[in-house]
Amino acid sequence: MLSRVILAVFLGVWISSHSFTLAEDQYMTRALRLMSETPLIDGHNDLPWQILKQFNNELNKVDLNTLGTTHTNIPKIKAGRLGAQFWSAYVPCETQYKDAVRQTLEQIDVVHRMCQKYPETFMFATSSQDIMDAFSMNKTASLIGVEGGHSIDSSLGTLRIMYQLGVRYLTLTHSCNTPWADNWRVDTGSEPSQHNGLSPFGKQLIVEMNRLGMLIDLAHVTVKVMNQVLDMSKAPVIFSHSSAYSICPHKRNVPDEVLKRVNKTGGIVMVNFYNDYVTCSKTAKVSDVADHFDHIKKVAGAGIIGFGGDYDGVTRLPEGLEDVSKVPNLVAELLRRGWTDEEVKAALGNNLLRVLTEVEEVRDRLNGTSPDDVPIPYEEVKNSCRTSYGYPSAGAVHSPSTLALLLTLAFQALVTLTAS
Per-residue pLDDT tens over the stretch 328-369? 999 999 999 999 999 999 999 999 999 999 999 999 999 999
Query: Has residue 24 got a pLDDT over 80?
Result: no
Q: Which residues are catalytic?
A: 44, 46, 147, 174, 220, 241, 310
Bigger pLDDT: 268 or 401? 268
- pLDDT at position 393 is 81
Q: What is this structure's pTM?
A: 0.89
Residue 28 forms part of a structural domain? no
pLDDT interval class at 169 (50, 70, 90)? very high
Q: What are the residues whose beta carbons fall under 8 Å from the beta carbon of 110, sequence distance 6 or more?
A: 48, 51, 52, 57, 59
Q: Is residue 26 part of a domain?
A: no
Return the exposure string of 132-143: e unless at least 16 CB atoms fall within 10 Å of the residue's CB, then b.
bebbeeebbbbb
Tens-place pLDDT, residues 266-284: 999 999 999 999 999 999 9
> How far is 318 from 325, CA to CA, in rounded Å?
13
| Mean pLDDT calculated for residue range 113-132 | 98
| 83: containing domain | 41-365
Q: Is residue 347 part of a domain?
A: yes
Q: Is 287 a domain residue? A: yes
Question: Does 25 reside within a domain?
Answer: no
How many whole angstroms separate alpha carbon 75 and alpha carbon 196?
46
Does residue 420 lie within any of the structural domains? no
Task: Evaluate whether residue 329 is within a structural domain.
Answer: yes
Q: Count the domains in the chain.
A: 1
Mean pLDDT of the chain: 92
Contact 328, 32 (CB under 8 A): yes
**What pLDDT is attached to residue 4?**
58
> What value does the mean pLDDT take over residues 144-170?
98
Q: Kindly report the number of other CB atoms within 10 A of residue 377's CB atom.
A: 15
Q: Which one has a higher pLDDT value, 403 or 184? A: 184
pLDDT surpasses 70 at 15? no
* Residue 179, domain CATH: 3.20.20.140
Residue 407 lies in a domain: no
